[in-house]
Amino acid sequence: MNYRRWAPALTILGTLTLGSCGGDQGAAEGGEILIGEYGSLTGTTATFGISTRNGIDMAIDEVNAAGGVLGRQVRVIVEDDQGRPEEAQTVVTKLITSDQVVAVLGEVASSRTLAAAPIAQQYGIPMITPSSTNPAVTQVGDYIFRVCFIDPFQGLVMATFATRSLGLTRVAILRDIRNDYSVGLADVFVENFQAMGGTIVIDQSYSEGDTDFSAQLTAIRAENPEAIFVPGYYTEVGLIARQARSLGLTVPLLGGDGWDSPSLIEIGGEALDGSYFSNHYSVQDPSPAIQAFVSAYQARFGETPDALAGLGYDAAMILFDAIRRAGSTEGAAIRDALAQTADFAGVTGTITLDENRNAIKPAVVLQVSGGQLVYVETINP
């Protein structure tokens, strides 16, 4: 069936049937504003989904305490997609058609957002992903936005950091060949690092789920690099760091935001000391807005917020800001207001959405040191 042709008819039908029995649900004036959220609350990336939900919950409680949006209270309906793309499609369809939410927040992983975004686009419901960095995500359509930077920018940040701040000229690459995020990041890093005069001494790969990296690391060791760029996820990075040290490779590892997890230190331990990765924000950033967020989060959830919590908070706040400016909860009006977001002071930096609905914002570089993540510097776009 051609959804695009049928969508308006279905929406009207849905509004008539559900709206009449549902009473004052999301679309109705004067009642609560309903927004939807979907994420991996269970499964292998459960910490991603839980942190994001915590951040969004904080934003909602804050805005409700301050009188709500357009004089109405905001309520979020959370759905668990178990980290599976097909489940993400199901729950987003439910949020839009059955719960009648005015906007959708989510997902963390690009693969899941890519699966669900076409549904939001078809129904004309704005979707903001807090932390999907793959460039293809917002290319789905004009209702899809993000509040994080995209992969090419992260690659550029680490190439800039490696050449300017660390003065490196010889770097090895170890990429996850089965992961679009990792391959994209590695490609951009290689391109920019070489343009800045550096040499890539060797380009090795592994596959997500591997546990033995000694063959690749031995090949890398033979080339004597000054650092290894490993743009993977935290589980493999921790194992890679351990095995590199036991092979006598002591050079620092460099990486991207896929490293950001409390488990990184648990797996990698001391082996990661002295390594750097780019991230969305640092809890050590002295700016008062960040410190207020960090202490409020700690008081409520008893742990330090990771970047995903900060991005979830920002995504929700940007949505409320757009609804306020739009003066309406109608999908197209929110979309137009979102597209005009400029210089929004978020926890994860000052956010401007460009014409491709991507956020233009700075990145931070963090160093792993003694089991802690230490803020090193901020790199602006």
Question: Site residues (CB under 8 A) for other proteins?
Answer: 42-44, 46, 177, 204-207, 209-212, 214-216, 218-219, 221-222, 235, 238-239, 242-243, 245-248, 263, 266-267, 269
**Which residues are CB-neighbours of 339 under 8 A, at least 6 positions away?**
142, 145, 353, 355, 357
**Which residues are CB-neighbours of 56 under 8 A, at least 6 positions away?**
37, 76, 105, 312, 313, 315, 316
SS3 312: helix
The smaller minimum CB distance to other proteins, of residues 170 and 245, is found at 245
CB of 216 to other proteins, least distance (A): 6
The smaller minimum CB distance to other proteins, of residues 248 and 288, is found at 248
CB of 148 to other proteins, least distance (A): 23
The smaller minimum CB distance to other proteins, of residues 247 and 333, is found at 247
The smaller minimum CB distance to other proteins, of residues 303 and 354, is found at 303
CB of 269 to other proteins, least distance (A): 8
Identify the CA nearest to 307 among candidates 294, 320, 316: 294
CB of 206 to other proteins, least distance (A): 5
Q: Which residue's structure tokens are 């809890």?
A: 283
The smaller minimum CB distance to other proteins, of residues 11 and 243, is found at 243
CB 291 within 8 A of CB 115: no
Alpha carbons 180 and 113: distance in angstroms, whole number? 14
CB of 277 to other proteins, least distance (A): 19
CB 314 within 8 A of CB 325: no
CB of 62 to other proteins, least distance (A): 30
CB of 238 to other proteins, least distance (A): 8
Alpha carbons 334 and 327: distance in angstroms, whole number? 8
Secondary structure (DSSP) of 12-78 = HHHHHHHHHHH-S-TTSTTSPEEEEEEE-SSSTTHHHHHHHHHHHHHHHHHHHHTT-BTTB-EEEEE
The smaller minimum CB distance to other proteins, of residues 156 and 240, is found at 240
CB of 323 to other proteins, least distance (A): 35
* 378 bridge partner residues: 364
Identify the CA nearest to 317 among candidates 288, 293, 284, 285: 293
The smaller minimum CB distance to other proteins, of residues 43 and 68, is found at 43
Sign of CA dihedral 158, 160, 163, 167: negative
The smaller minimum CB distance to other proteins, of residues 238 and 305, is found at 238
Q: Where does residue 373 rank: exposed (0-12), middle (13-18), buried (19+ CB within 10 A)?
A: buried
